[in-house]
Amino acid sequence: MIAPATFTHGEQMTGRLQDLSLLTVLLLPLLSSCAAVHRNGVPREWGEPATQQDSVSRTAMSLYRLVREIDAEGRTIKALPAWLSDAQSAQRRSFTDAWGRPLDVQVRGALYELRSAGRDGSHGNDDDVVAIGKLGRSLPCEVRRLQDVARFEDVAPPCDETPPDTIYPLCEALKRAGITRDAGPPADSVAAEGEHLVRVARVMDGYARELSTLPLQLRNLPLPGQNASRELVDVWGSVVAYTPRSTAFELRSAGPDRTSGSHDDVVVNGVLGTPARCSFRVGDEVRSCAVPPPPCGGS
């Protein structure tokens, strides 16, 4: 990720909620901070003047929304919207912060920066609120507000200026595929686990498209078969191993013997952008199931 200082003018988520988008799952701490409260926890009355922190939180949330809007437009044309490079066009879109001032928009390669000057109205100091985004990614690469810096390094790798090799089409149907798992395995537990891993692979693919990269870990995704610690577990209670390799990944259950690497491991391999077919591997044997990938509609 390039340092924000390198941008120049004119260049640049108690229980699991099953149907939330990746952004909401990742932003729960930020959403909670947006609730305006007194120090004693009593909500502010309507009409009471907003505090500095209120304004910063509102501005940060507006930057998250703008990143998603820019991603939606850019993903369609497979390029950053041209107006991002035109300061006057950006201002005409009424992109303003909580203080009513227009945002400064800078572009550099595949990256762009959205900057609020903060309460003092002066760009380039500690009270600026900044979001850095990248073409083909709906989650900001970085958000800075006062002393808080969010880089989401437990979710996805840092961004760089290199254009993405592929702008992945979104597929909301994948994100809804198999969020729940039937209670208790049937007689054929191996087949049940194979189909479970296929559903996990499909949900992963749906969310990974929004990042244009595979997630670094699975805890932040609402997947079928997670335990109280949000670890992905198989029907025998063992943690499923997840191994990402560039745009390919492997999900591996240790199988009935609970020993990873043995002959009864249940394995699903996938590639980002290609919804997993209903097949899995048990040792050297390839097994099939009958549920096709969900339709992605016009995405």
Q: Residue 19 has what pLDDT? A: 38
Mean pLDDT of 281-287: 94
The mean pLDDT value for 267-295 works out to 93
**Per-residue pLDDT at 93:** 60
Can you give the pLDDT at residue 16?
37
Query: Per-residue confidence at 156, pLDDT binned at 50, 70, 90?
Result: confident
Q: Parse the chain into domains and list their residue ranges.
A: 4-150, 172-288
The Cα angle at residue 226 between residues 186 and 258, in degrees rounded to 5: 60
Find the Cα–Cα–Cα–Cα dihedral 10, 126, 146, 211, rounded to 10°: 30
Q: Which residue has the tokens 């692979």?
A: 201
- Helix, strand or coil, per DSSP, at residue 269: strand
Report how far residue 152's alpha carbon sits from residue 162's, in angstroms, rounded to the nearest whole number: 19
pLDDT at residue 91 greater than cutoff 50: yes
Burial class from Cβ neighbours inside 10 Å (0-12, 13-18, 19+) for residue 256 reads middle
Q: Specify the pLDDT at position 47.
A: 43
Under the banding of pLDDT at 50, 70 and 90, the label for residue 37 is very low
Of the ranges 86-100, 175-189, 275-289, the best mean pLDDT one = 275-289
- Using one digit for the tens of pLDDT, what is the confidence trace for 211-251? 999 999 999 899 989 999 999 999 999 999 999 999 999 99
Kindly give the residue spans of alpha helices, DSSP state H, lying in the chain: 22-26, 28-33, 52-77, 87-92, 172-175, 189-211
Q: Cβ of 16: how many Cβ atoms within 10 Å?
A: 13
Mean pLDDT of 103-123: 91
Task: Quote the pLDDT of residue 94.
Answer: 61
Position 8 scores a pLDDT of: 39
pLDDT for res 18: 39
| Widest pairwise Cα distance in the chain | 67
pTM above 0.85, yes or no: no
pLDDT digit string, tens, across residues 43-53 = 344 344 456 67
Closest CA to 223 of 285, 255, 268, 259: 268
* Average pLDDT taken over every residue of the chain: 81
Please write the tens of the pLDDT for every residue from 168-204. 999 999 998 866 666 666 789 999 999 999 999 999 9
Residues 145-150, mean pLDDT to the nearest whole number: 87
Beta bridge partners of 57: none
SS3 115: strand
User: What pLDDT shows up at residue 168?
Assistant: 93
